[in-house]
Structure formats: C-alpha cells, structure tokens
C-alpha cells in the first residue's frame, strides 16, 4: 500500500476578484479560518470519521473550470488544517496508476464540481478498494444552483452501487446574505412511500448565525433499520435442518428450519417481506468461478443468482470459504457445522457372544486370574515332591485336586471331602466364591440372552478403510475430501439433492447398507434421528473431519451486510440460534444407548442357540479325547502321556 501524505499547502484563491466573477464570488472562501462551508464538513468529519485505526480516502475531480478546482483546494486546505491532528488522509489520484489497498476504505471524502466529475469518479469505484457500505461525504462545489434533477441522478447512480451512507454538501446559492447557508442532502432507499427510491432528501440547512452546529442532527442515520415492508429476494433450497421448504397448492412456499427461522426473525426486526427463489435445475450451492478469467456465467446454483444480482442474499448451510469471499460478500458466521461420517450400527451380537455379556471385560479378567492362580498353586505343590504338604493343602487321599477345583466352579458335587481343617477352610472359601460368581452370571444371562444388542459403530476413518467400507457423499462436498485419497478412491457421489441423503440415511438406520458411510454434517443426522427414531437410529463416527463456519452471502456491492450483521449479533447473544436449532435436532441419541425395556418372557430355542453351540463344542472335545484313548492302545508314548490325567 502506498500512502501519500498531503501537507496543507494547497493554493488558496484570492479574495480580490473582479465583479465579472459574480457567480464564483458568492461561493468563494472568504476567510481562512471560520468559513461556514468548511465548518459543516469539519463537524461531520469529527463526528463520524475520527477513527484511529482507519484513514480517510480523499478524492477530488474538477471538470468545469479552473475556478472550481481552486475553490476545492481552498476548502480542502482549511478542512485538513482543522482535522489533521485527528484524521489521517490518504489521497487517491484519478489519473495516475492506482495502488491496490490492503482493505477497502470505509471513510471517504470526495470533492466534485458537477455531475460529470461525479460520474467519472464514482463509476471507477471498486469493492476491492472502496467499502461501498462505508461513509461517503461528497462536497459539491458547483457554480450554479444544484438542481433536484442533478441530485436525483447522483443518488440514482449511488443506489446502483449500493452506496447509501452518503451525504452531498453544497452551498445555497439562493442565499444572498454575507454568509451563505450550506445544504446537506441524502436519500432513503426504503420509505413508507416506496421501495428502492433515490429521491433527494434535505438533511439540514446549516445557517451561519449559530455558535455551534446542532449536534442532535443525525448526519448519517441508519437507513436500513426499517424496510417498511419492502421485499427482499432470497435464494435457498430444501436442506434439513437448516432450511425446510413446503410447497402448497397455491404455489405459496412455507419455509422453516433453523436458518429459515433466523431469516424470519430478521424480517420481523427489520420489517421486510421475503420472496424465496430456488436455484435452477435442482442445483444447491452451485459452482464458484475458480479464476479471474471466469465470469458469473460460469457459476451455477445459488452462487450464480447472487453474482448476477438477481437475489439480495442466499443462505442454506453456506460455508464461508476463501473462493466465495473473492466474488461475494459474506455475513458474520452464526454457526459452525461439523462434517462427519454417518455410519450404521455395529453388527448384532451372536448367540455365542451373548454368553460373555453378563460380565464386563475386567470381571472376566479377574475370574480368569483367580482360576489361573489356583491352578498354579496346585501345580507348584504337586511338583514340590512333599507328600505332607499335599495332604495339608488338598486333604488326605485327594488325588484329583484340579478336577475338584473345576467341579466346584461349575456347581458339581465332590465324591471325597478333605479331613483336615485347613483343607476344608480352603474348600469352603472356594465354594463361596464360586457360588457368588455363578449366581451373578446365571441371573444376568437370562436377560442378555433375550436382548437385541449390537456392537458399537466404527469410530475412525482408518477402521472403516480396513473394513472395506464404501463411502457416499454429495458431489458439492467433494472439496472437503480432496486431502483424503483413501476415501476418494472408493467413494460414490450422490445426486445433489437432500432426497438422496434422506434415502441413504434410511438405509443406514435399518442396516440395509451395513458397510457404508455417508459424508454429511452431524446436524443432518441429528435431524433424522429426531423425526425417524422409530425406524432406527443412525450413528456417527466421533472424528470431526471438517469444521465449517456458515453464514449468508450477498452480492459484492450489497448494502445489507452490515445491518444484518448487527441484528445477527443480537440474536446470537440472546441464544436464539441455538434455541431454534434445538427444535430440529436431537444430539442425545448419540450419547445414550437405544432404550431397551426388558419384560420377562419364556426362553426360546433361538435364545439358547449359544448354549447349544457350547454343548456341541464340548461334545466334540469329548469325542476327540475318546479317539485319543482308543489310539493310545496302539501307541505306547501316547498311552504313557495319558496316564498322567487320572492323577490330576
């Protein structure tokens, strides 16, 4: 950015003029200090332009004569002398090369001497260098009386540029007193008399007799705080839970959803009506021109309608992105969307797996540890070679301690009890422990055998890839998956409509697509679970792939953004956005397991399939041991190995 510092040494017109210059003499700067024309300008600058962090862009153009140019220099000289301590000026020449600004200028001061100069100056404004929603103070130094038609043409051009915070300051040439009155004009685009009007409106007539200018006069009033029931055109589409559109027979479109409710709240607060337009050919957000060589004709969907200024704004989970910000103006973000994978419930537990559900993993580990410790103690004592120690711990005449251990564990009877007190005490403690464990297991097993329970859904992308999941997504969401080649290689693109997402969520809920994942936002899944919970729940992976701040988008020259942002701030602070969203989504379904109401019912064959499978396995083991016993008659080494078992 190149800043040109202007010293207040501009040429000043002479106070001695011939009478032939009568037209100019009435408008001449008669005193260097205290000129009424300059006082009005300085007052406006001090009240609205004094900002330490932003400079004021100074523009001037004279096309009528040298006299008006010198007059502009006089006024600029005096204005800058009075405000140089509080305002930093940046001068933009009109004929030399223009340097791009780091950011659009909000505060602008322009000097013109007629409509031609105005037309040349303001048609050259660009949104990249000038914030068209900022403040514009135009000083008109015409030699003739400013006609209403000229002012109307100026305001008409300003309205096409969406410049509304503007005032035109000129002198009252019909005032022949020593100090001429200064007139300030503006226009109101939305009034009770009509919409999008550019009729000149006199803000105030400033007379010289007062010591101070009236500070109660609002020079830059809010012109968009009341639209007086004028119409705002909005491009949107059906996208639950953000926007819900219902078409009636009379072609009336009823809208809802949390962004639809937000739009309705804005229409009530700002007093405007809505006209909804859906993008052509069933498109949604649409394509954004990728390069500077592309134009709005290369765009599609809602983006194209905004670029061609056929609508005032668009919304519907519009992610605020850099490529869109280059061609459109975004609002303040009012919500952050989390993009995730919607996945089906895990597979159902098999009957055999249900036999292990009465105890948690930690309980099973402790039960197994106690059993292994008991086996280790028995093996250690048997290998010690001390008969008195075996008799003391196992009991006299007990030759199969391991078999007795397992027999008590499963509730069997012992043929021979130990005779000594210590051995009997150990047996009693083991019987008491097994009684508690076995009773707890049997009591819970009855319920778990009848329960329809599934494993938890997959929670990571790597786990889905390892399980050969197939992925689905809307094509317009492909931008967010470009950094995931493992997913792109096995993805299927859905039609760009919410009906395709709805159908796939339905298949996920009833497990018709057991090994698939849908790339969507968590709010869409929460909306489905709220209104389709009876059909089955859809789960989400806990990994958030992308976080998208969403907002509204306006044409680049729109004047609505600032006023809408102020209202959005109030709604966000009051909690209105989260409150309205809570009416459409249910996040609790992701946290709690599905409700299961157990009622005692007789066990069926299906419930006992796992028990039968266990029985078949044990019978197979027994049959295998029988075959080994038969083979041991012919194999001496095998018979020697099996002689150990009766002593266990």
Structure tokens at 169: 């300051």
Q: What is the mean pLDDT of residues 563-579?
A: 93
Q: Residue 130: enclosing H or E segment and its boundaries?
A: strand 130-140
* Whole-angstrom distance, CA of residue 562 vs CA of residue 81: 32
pLDDT band at 229 (very low <50, low <70, confident <90, very high): very high
Mean of pLDDT over the chain = 83
Q: Which CATH number fits domain 337-348+454-550: 3.30.110.30, 3.30.70.20, 3.40.190.10, 1.10.540.10?
A: 3.40.190.10
pLDDT at residue 415, rounded to an integer: 79
pLDDT at 265 over 80: yes
Closest-CA residue to 427 (of 378, 366, 359, 367): 378
Q: Is-contact 143 107, C-beta < 8 A?
A: no
pLDDT in tens, 44-62: 998 888 865 678 889 988 8
Q: What is the SS3 assignment for 379?
A: helix
* Whole-angstrom distance, CA of residue 579 vs CA of residue 584: 10
* Whole-angstrom distance, CA of residue 443 vs CA of residue 245: 53
pLDDT in tens, 181-190: 788 999 999 9
Closest-CA residue to 232 (of 560, 571, 557): 560
pLDDT at 258 over 90: yes
Strand partners, 474: 494
Q: Is-contact 196 230, C-beta < 8 A?
A: yes
Residues 6+ apart with CB under 8 A from 123: 157
Strand partners, 551: 318
- How far is residue 393 from each of residues 388, 409, 419, 427, measured CA to CA in Å? 9, 18, 11, 10
Which has more pLDDT, 31 or 218? 218
Three-state secondary structure along 476-490?
Answer: HHHHHHCCCHHHHCC
pLDDT at residue 598, rounded to an integer: 60
Which has more pLDDT, 137 or 414? 137
Helix axes 361-384, 421-450, angle to 10 degrees: 150
- How far is residue 36 from each of residues 73, 206, 214, 418, measured CA to CA in Å? 16, 9, 14, 121
Of the listed ranges 13-27, 277-291, 479-493, the least confidently predicted one is 13-27
Q: For 591-600, b where at least 16 C-beta lie within 10 A, e where not — what string?
A: eeeeeeeeee
Closest-CA residue to 120 (of 164, 60, 199): 60
At the top level of CATH, the class of 32-206 is alpha beta
Q: Which CATH number fits domain 224-334+558-593: 3.30.70.60, 3.30.565.10, 3.40.190.10, 3.40.1190.20?
A: 3.40.190.10
Q: What is the mean pLDDT of residues 459-486?
A: 87
How are beta strands 470-474 and 272-277 bridged, if at all? Answer: unpaired
Closest-CA residue to 150 (of 183, 177, 181): 183
Q: Is-contact 243 236, C-beta < 8 A?
A: yes
Q: Is-contact 642 632, C-beta < 8 A?
A: yes
Q: Residue 338: enclosing H or E segment and its boundaries?
A: strand 335-343
Q: What DSSP designation does 342 have? A: E
pLDDT at residue 210, rounded to an integer: 58
User: What is the pTM (predicted TM-score) of this model?
Assistant: 0.75
Structure tokens at 391: 């008799």
Strand partners, 91: 58
Of the listed ranges 271-275, 448-452, 560-564, the least confidently predicted one is 448-452
* Whole-angstrom distance, CA of residue 544 vs CA of residue 480: 12
Structure tokens at 402: 């391991």
* Whole-angstrom distance, CA of residue 481 vs CA of residue 479: 6
pLDDT at residue 528, rounded to an integer: 93
pLDDT at 326 over 70: yes
Strand partners, 337: 548
First to last CA, the chain: 93
């Amino acid at each position: 950015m190149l800043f040109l510092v202007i010293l207040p040494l501009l040429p000043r017109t002479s106070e001695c003029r011939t009478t032939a210059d009568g037209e100019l003499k009435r408008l001449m700067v008669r005193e260097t200090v205290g000129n009424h024309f300059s006082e009005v300008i300085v007052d406006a600058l001090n009240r609205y332009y004094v900002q330490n962090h932003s400079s004021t862009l100074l523009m001037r153009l004279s096309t009528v004569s040298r006299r008006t140019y010198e007059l502009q220099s006089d006024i600029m000289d005096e204005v800058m002398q009075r405000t140089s301590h509080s305002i930093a000026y940046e001068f933009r020449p009109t004929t030399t090369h223009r340097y791009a600004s780091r950011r659009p200028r909000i505060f602008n001061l322009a000097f013109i001497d007629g409509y031609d100069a105005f037309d040349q100056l303001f048609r050259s404004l660009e949104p990249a260098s000038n914030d068209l929603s900022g403040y514009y103070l135009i000083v008109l130094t015409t030699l003739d009386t400013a006609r209403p038609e000229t002012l109307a043409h100026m305001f008409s051009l300003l309205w096409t540029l969406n410049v509304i915070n503007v005032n035109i300051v000129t002198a009252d040439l019909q005032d022949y007193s020593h100090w001429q009155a200064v007139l300030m004009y503006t226009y109101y685009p939305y009034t009770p008399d009509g919409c999008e009007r550019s009729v000149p409106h006199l803000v105030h007539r400033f007379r010289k007799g007062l010591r101070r200018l009236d500070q109660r006069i609002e020079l830059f009033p809010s012109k968009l705080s009341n639209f007086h029931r004028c119409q705002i055109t909005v491009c949107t589409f059906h996208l639950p839970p953000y926007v819900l559109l219902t078409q009636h027979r009379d072609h009336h479109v009823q809208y809802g959803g949390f962004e639809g409710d937000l739009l309705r709240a804005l229409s009530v607060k700002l007093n405007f009506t809505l006209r909804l337009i859906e993008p052509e050919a069933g498109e949604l957000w649409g394509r954004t021109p990728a390069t500077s060589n592309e134009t709005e004709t290369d765009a599609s969907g809602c983006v194209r309608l905004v670029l061609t200024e056929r609508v005032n704004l668009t919304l519907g989970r519009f992610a605020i992105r850099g490529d869109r910000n280059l061609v459109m103006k975004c609002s303040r973000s009012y919500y952050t969307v989390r993009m995730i994978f919607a996945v089906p419930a895990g597979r159902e537990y098999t009957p055999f797996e249900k036999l292990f559900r009465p105890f948690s993993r930690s309980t099973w580990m402790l039960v197994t540890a106690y059993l292994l410790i008991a086996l280790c103690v028995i093996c250690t004592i048997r290998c010690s070679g001390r008969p008195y120690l075996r008799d003391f711990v196992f009991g006299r005449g007990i030759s199969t301690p391991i078999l007795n251990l397992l027999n008590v564990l499963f509730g069997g009877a012992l043929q021979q009890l130990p005779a000594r007190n210590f051995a009997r005490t150990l047996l009693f403690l083991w019987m008491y422990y097994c009684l508690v464990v076995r009773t707890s297991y049997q009591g819970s097993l009855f319920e778990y055998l009848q329960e329809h329970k599934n494993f938890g859904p997959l929670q990571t992308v790597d786990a889905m890839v390892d399980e050969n999941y197939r992925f689905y997504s809307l094509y317009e969401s492909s931008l967010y998956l470009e950094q995931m080649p493992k997913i792109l290689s096995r993805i299927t693109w859905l039609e760009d409509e919410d009906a395709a997402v709805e159908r796939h969520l339905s298949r996920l809920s009833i497990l018709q697509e057991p090994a698939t994942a849908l790339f969507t936002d968590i709010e869409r899944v929460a909306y489905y679970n709220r209104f389709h919970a009876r059909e089955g729940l859809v789960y989400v992976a806990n990994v958030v792939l992308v976080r998208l701040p969403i907002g509204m988008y306006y044409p680049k020259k729109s004047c609505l953004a600032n006023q809408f942002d102020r209202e959005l701030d109030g709604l966000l602070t009051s909690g209105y956005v989260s409150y309205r969203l809570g009416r459409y989504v249910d996040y609790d379904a992701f946290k709690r397991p599905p409700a299961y109401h157990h009622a005692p019912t007789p066990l069926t064959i299906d419930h006992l399939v796992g028990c039968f499978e266990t029985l078949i396995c044990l019978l197979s083991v027994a049959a295998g041991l029988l075959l080994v016993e038969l083979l041991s008659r012919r194999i001496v080494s095998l018979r020697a190995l099996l002689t150990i078992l009766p002593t266990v």
